[in-house]
Structure formats: C-alpha cells, structure tokens
Amino acid sequence: MFYKGGSGTSTGAVAASALNEISFADENVVFAGAEDGAVYVSRDAGRTWTQAIAAGTTGVNVGAMWVRDANSIWIGGVNGGNCRVNGS
C-alpha cells in the first residue's frame, strides 16, 4: 500500500464524525484516519484536505497512526490489523 503525495481526491472538509485519529508530521502536514479505513492529508495546516487512501483500501478501521515524516505513516487498526503507508 503506497501513499503518493498529492494523488488523491481534493476535498474542502473531512467528516469529523468518522475520524478516529489525527496526527501531525509538522506544523503544516496533518493526517486524519477514519473508521472506514480512509486516510486524509492536509499540507496547509488543515485548510484543505486530500483523500490519500480510499475507504476500504487499508483493510483496517484506523485506530492509531504513527507519522514518520510528511510522506510515511504506519496505521494501526482497531481490529488489530496494521499497514505501512509510504509516499514519494
């Protein structure tokens, strides 16, 4: 599973009721993980969001994220699954 920076669908907002985890890479780059497995990224401190990973793609209900840098994260699932997401 690979996250390619900027290749997702751009959206103005993320449905807050579906989010399980928000993690910061730095003051501008923010990742948000949802219970349906979708992962969103903002590169402008949360003003705009891009769906980096579509729902169901990770195979996990995102319960935790560890941000390595602005392009690489580990996702831990509520159900015990996990995956690594790398970008370029």
4 is a domain residue: no
Would 1 be classed as within a structural domain? Answer: no
Q: Report the range of poorest mean pLDDT among 10-14, 36-40, 69-73.
A: 10-14
Mean pLDDT over each residue of the chain, to the nearest integer: 75
Q: Which residues contact 24 (CB under 8 A, 6 or more apart)?
A: 30, 31, 67
Please tell me the total count of domains within the chain: 1
pTM of the model: 0.73
- Residue pLDDT, tens place only, 40-49: 999 999 999 9
* In a domain? residue 76: yes
56 is a domain residue: yes
The residue range of the domain holding 37 is 9-85
> When comparing pLDDT for 25 and 88, which is higher?
25
